[in-house]
Structure 1
Amino acid sequence: MDQPIRMKSNGQITVSLNSHKRKSLTKELPVPQVVPKVIPPEHAALKEIEDELGALVGMEEMKRMIKEIYAWIFVNKKREEVGMKAKKQALHMMFKGNPGTGKTTVARLIGKLFLKMNVLSKGHLIEAERADLVGEYIGHTAQKTRDLIKKAQGGILFIDEAYSLGRGGEKDFGKEAIDTLVKHMEDKQHEFILILAGYSREMDYFLTLNPGLHSRFPLVIDFPNYTIDQLMEISARMLDEREYSLSHGAEKKLKDHLIWVKSVLNPNSFSNGRYVRNIIEKSIRAQAMRLLLQNSFDKHELMTLRSNDLVFEEDS
């Protein structure tokens, strides 16, 4: 018996399958192809970005999404070469996550990749926040927003804490900035890429402020908080880049502290990789002072951070 097809009021189609049909359908579906680990030479742009992505801890959803975008653009070009239709899609994005989860870093990498693929003519990143868009009188906000979009032509306009544009109510000029962004996202959708970033819950609310917002962000990437093991890996990489290492005692002390701080802080208040970076930088300065007072400068001591060198934000 054929299965019912229901049309929702918003135009989406839902197909209901009974259990028997679902099982047979599952058997017939091909196994998805795994993206090869060795990237062919013709995909040099992806290979270069892959190497940089490999240096980022976690972010598996984001890495998968970037490969997917690359594949779509590449295949679209192949379709054009053989005379097939290859309709461009808007590539505006929304990054949802807490501070210190790598959103700005990823935005820069995307600009780099799209420049190499000729999706963007410049690939540069213009960072902005509410104060850069919102003016002081009627008409001022629209002009400031247009000026920023003009600067971002050929690249990416990255607006952090974008939800703050909708916090002032109906009379706030933030709404004017949102309306201007929506208009230019459509009119100039292939001339620049807009990436809005912020906390997950606040960004979900932000999308309700203008009926045109939701549909204009086809790419939404979640940046989850790092786990303890990932934070430890981030700290190890930061130290290695600076030619430092933790003693066994310092490593245990840092891990215990991270476990504690994640248990007591509101997840939205924890700045993830940024928190770890601040600890590393303060601790390096503390180690320098200790070595100066001890007058001890052999290579091993110059490299090693000990447990009493560690400085946590709560201590400073």
Structure 2
Amino acid sequence: MEQPIRLKDNGQINVVLNTMKRGEVSPNSIVETVQKPKHELLVEIDEQLRHLIGMEEIKTMIHEIYAWIFINKKREELNLKAEKQVLHMLFKGNPGTGKTTVARVIGQLFLKMGVLSKGHLIEAERADLVGEYIGHTAQKTRDLVKKANGGILFIDEAYSLGRGGEKDFGKEAIDTLVKHMEDKHGDFVLILAGYSSEMDYFLSLNPGLKSRFPFILEFQDYNVKELMDISKKMFVDREYILSREAEFRLRDFISKAKIENRQHFSNGRFVRNIVEKSIRSQATRLVLESEFNREILMRIEEKDLTVSDKKESI
């Protein structure tokens, strides 16, 4: 019976790999002993993700990205073939679903894994890339990429770059980005974000664009319970509490807004605006009072909760 070879260090592994190529050692006879990693970084990232309500599929994808980078590094250490690490991403979903927050978490993950040297996030939109004359757009885009070197360039509403047709300078911005994605894939990560349907159309304008984004993350709308949890956390973080009646009214606002703005509901932004407006309303109500205590200053009443008469479209 063939006895297994137990590997103890990288030098011995390299010797065995060379003898395998000459047919002197069977692959089945190799048993590698590797100390189980503790993955402190993954625990740290999980702690950040734990504070994000919902987004279970996104959290799973981040775990997969971590595992892929980690194992690729181990393969490189043992002189095994490793996949080319292209980490550009597409974020698809409505506003207020946590896309920018997740981009920041990913930036810190890539920094601590040695993928990016800085891990910072540069946020941009069409106006930051598209110029007013020929050649201006390419220069503006190059400057943004340079600013994002070592980190992430996050372009929101990226589909707007493809809206103007062939003569629009947005196409020049896309072409410049594509070139830098290839030339500098180790220096920065590009994340394009926007509404799902608009992003699908945007990708169809350039057949080669989609293949350059190995990671496509779908950010789902929050349900009513998740939005209530988000709003309560916002109040708690600001040291406010909701009365029972105010909580019922808030739930009613959220439910109606989701139905009326089903296609482009702004999720976390919607509840954040309600939270901030209710705090201002409470202050306006209390400023006329003569006595204050902690409970009065913290309590948000039903009358403090209002929404704009305009259709929610943030």
Whole-angstrom CA distance in 2 between matches of 1:141 and 1:200: 26
1:274 paired residue among 243, 249, 269: 269
Residue 310 of structure 1 corresponds to which residue in structure 2?
305
Whole-angstrom CA distance in 2 between matches of 1:191 and 1:202: 28
User: For the aligned residues, what is the CA RMSD?
Assistant: 1.5
Instruction: Label 1:208 to 1:46 Cα distance change in 2 as closer, same or farther (>3 A).
Output: same
Instruction: Label 1:315 to 1:220 Cα distance change in 2 as closer, same or farther (>3 A).
Output: closer
TM-score (norm 1): 0.84
- 2:173 alignment partner AA: A
1:297 correspondence with 2:295: no
Residue 77 of structure 1 corresponds to which residue in structure 2?
73
Residue 246 of structure 2 corresponds to which residue in structure 1?
250
1:42 paired residue among 38, 44, 51: 38
Residue 156 of structure 1 corresponds to which residue in structure 2?
152
Whole-angstrom CA distance in 2 between matches of 1:257 and 1:121: 44
Whole-angstrom CA distance in 2 between matches of 1:288 and 1:154: 44
- What is the CA distance between 1:41 and its match in structure 2? 7.7
Q: What is the correspondence of 1:100-119 to structure 2 with a 5 Å cutoff?
A: 100-119=96-115
1:199 correspondence with 2:208: no
- What is the CA distance between 1:88 and its match in structure 2? 2.6
Residue 59 of structure 2 corresponds to which residue in structure 1?
63
Whole-angstrom CA distance in 2 between matches of 1:257 and 1:211: 42
Identity level (%): 68
Whole-angstrom CA distance in 1 between matches of 2:111 and 2:291: 49
- What is the CA distance between 1:315 and its match in structure 2? 7.9
Q: Is the 8 A contact 1:95 1:220 kept in 2?
A: yes
- What is the CA distance between 1:245 and its match in structure 2? 1.1
Residue 34 of structure 1 corresponds to which residue in structure 2?
none
- 1:62 alignment partner AA: I
Whole-angstrom CA distance in 2 between matches of 1:171 and 1:164: 14
Q: What is the correspondence of 1:172-251 to structure 2 with a 5 Å cutoff?
A: 172-251=168-247
Whole-angstrom CA distance in 2 between matches of 1:77 and 1:244: 47
Whole-angstrom CA distance in 2 between matches of 1:62 and 1:190: 23
Whole-angstrom CA distance in 1 between matches of 2:191 and 2:63: 18
What do the CA deviations read for 1:45-75 (whole angstroms, capped 9, x no partner)? 2222211111111111110000000011111
- 1:300 alignment partner AA: E
- 1:160 alignment partner AA: D
Whole-angstrom CA distance in 2 between matches of 1:64 and 1:242: 30
Whole-angstrom CA distance in 2 between matches of 1:52 and 1:154: 22
- 1:184 alignment partner AA: H
SS of equivalent residue, structure 1 residue 267: coil
Q: Is the 8 A contact 1:179 1:210 kept in 2?
A: no
- 2:279 alignment partner AA: I
Which sits farther off after the overlay, 125-134 or 258-267?
Answer: 258-267
SS of equivalent residue, structure 1 residue 271: coil
Instruction: Label 1:272 to 1:72 Cα distance change in 2 as closer, same or farther (>3 A).
Output: same
What do the CA deviations read for 1:158-179 (whole angstroms, capped 9, x no partner)? 0000000001011101001111
- 2:53 alignment partner AA: V
Q: What is the correspondence of 1:110-149 to structure 2 with a 5 Å cutoff?
A: 110-149=106-145
Whole-angstrom CA distance in 2 between matches of 1:148 and 1:91: 18
SS of equivalent residue, structure 2 residue 288: helix
What are the ranges of 5 or more consecutive residues in structure 1 without an aligned counterpart? 1-39
Whole-angstrom CA distance in 1 between matches of 2:49 and 2:55: 9
TM-score (norm 2): 0.85
- What is the CA distance between 1:294 and its match in structure 2? 2.3
Residue 53 of structure 1 corresponds to which residue in structure 2?
49
1:265 correspondence with 2:261: yes
- 2:280 alignment partner AA: R
- 1:113 alignment partner AA: L
- Which protein is bigger by CA-based radius of gyration? 2
